[in-house]
Amino acid sequence: MNDRAAETSHAPTLHEIDAAATRIRPYVHHTPILHSRSIDQDLGAHLSFKCENLQRGGAFKFRGACNAVLSLDETAIAGGVATHSSGNHAAALCLAAGLRGARAVVVMPRGSSAVKAAAVRRYGGEIVPCDPTQEAREGTLAEVVAKRGCHPVPPYDDYRVIAGQGTAARELLAAEPEIDLLVTPLGGGGLLSGSAIVARALLPKLRVIGVEPAGADDARRSLAAGRIVTDVVPRTVADGLRARIGQLTFPIIQCCVDAVVAVSEESIIGAMRLLWERMKLVVEPSSAVALAALLAGAIDGAGQRIAIILSGGNVDLDALPWVAGR
């Protein structure tokens, strides 16, 4: 097995997640956990919100990107790093590459969020556009790596990235170990995988649920089929959750996650707006799916202590999804 294959070939352990936490601690924010009495009253539950929308780069993605980049030796980092991403991982990787003085090249689907593309450029990254399909993203990235000698850092299917993402749940459970249910958004599966590994190691009875948009529910269909389903064409306002479930993240989710549920576009937008109004938190649609599942009844959380990871807050303020005409 070559070095790059080895980097993506196994699921991280709690020990590796703890090592990641130590490695990235000087650079990441230890994000707050906030509560809302009014939302608790609406749901008849006690909710804790881990605010990764306040993370550097505006999303939890900085944790995984930072751990991956800081794990590279000097030979690997010399040619720079590259990835494919619709936004948050792209910006996170560029920010992390800057810590090492390395260049970052991002393959970004046409039609990606202008705000997220601007963040990539602000952090010094170069954007290579591609068609908005998984095959185009992966194929264009392979070309960039081959031609430019960059080291690939996948957005989720990489044990270093998963280990970094798991540090958010590690912080959460260290602060609030008495929870009954942990809910996270689900796109490619990095955040959910890392969170589930932490939960199973520390609190084996803790239920872990992933939430994805009904318009991008490939993980739910894949779990039902027992294999990764590739024919789902994502259509959702939650642009950060349009990625296909990963080859590495899928088996982790199969063995460590209790359920995956899907929510409508209307419920996502409603939950996003509620978080803005009640908690004064700027979150993007992808962040709101976990709360949407509770509000819509896709998850029965009545009487439980529930932790939600708010994954990011990179949103175009000129194109809010509840504005008339959108």
Mark whether 311 is an active-site residue. Answer: yes
Other beta carbons less than 10 A from residue 126's beta carbon: 16
The torsion angle over the Cα atoms of residues 60, 66, 68 and 69, rounded to 10 degrees, is 150
Cα distances (Å, whole numbers) of residue 284 to 192, 247, 288, 320: 17, 26, 7, 9
CA dihedral sign of residues 290, 292, 298, 304: positive
Among candidate residues 48, 61, 222, 286, the one labeled active-site is 61
Give a three-class secondary structure readout of the chain.
CCHHHHHCCCCCCHHHHHHHHHHHCCCCCCCCEECCHHHHHHHCCEEEEEEHHHCHHHECHHHHHHHHHHHCCHHHHCCCEEEECCCHHHHHHHHHHHHCCCCEEEEEECCCCHHHHHHHHHCCCEEEEECCCHHHHHHHHHHHHHHHCCEECCCCCCHHHHHHHHHHHHHHHHHCCCCCEEEEECCCCHHHHHHHHHHHHHCCCCEEEEEEEHHHCHHHHHHHHCCCCCCCCCCCCCHHHCCCCCCCHHHHHHHHCCEEEEECHHHHHHHHHHHHHHHCCCCCHHHHHHHHHHHCCCCCCCCCEEEEEECECCCCCCCCCCCCCC
Spatial distance between the Cα atoms of 106 and 220, rounded to a whole number of angstroms: 28
Q: Catalytic annotation on 9?
A: no
CB 210 within 8 A of CB 82: no
Pick the catalytic residue: 36, 112, 287, 311? 311
Residues tagged active-site: 61, 311
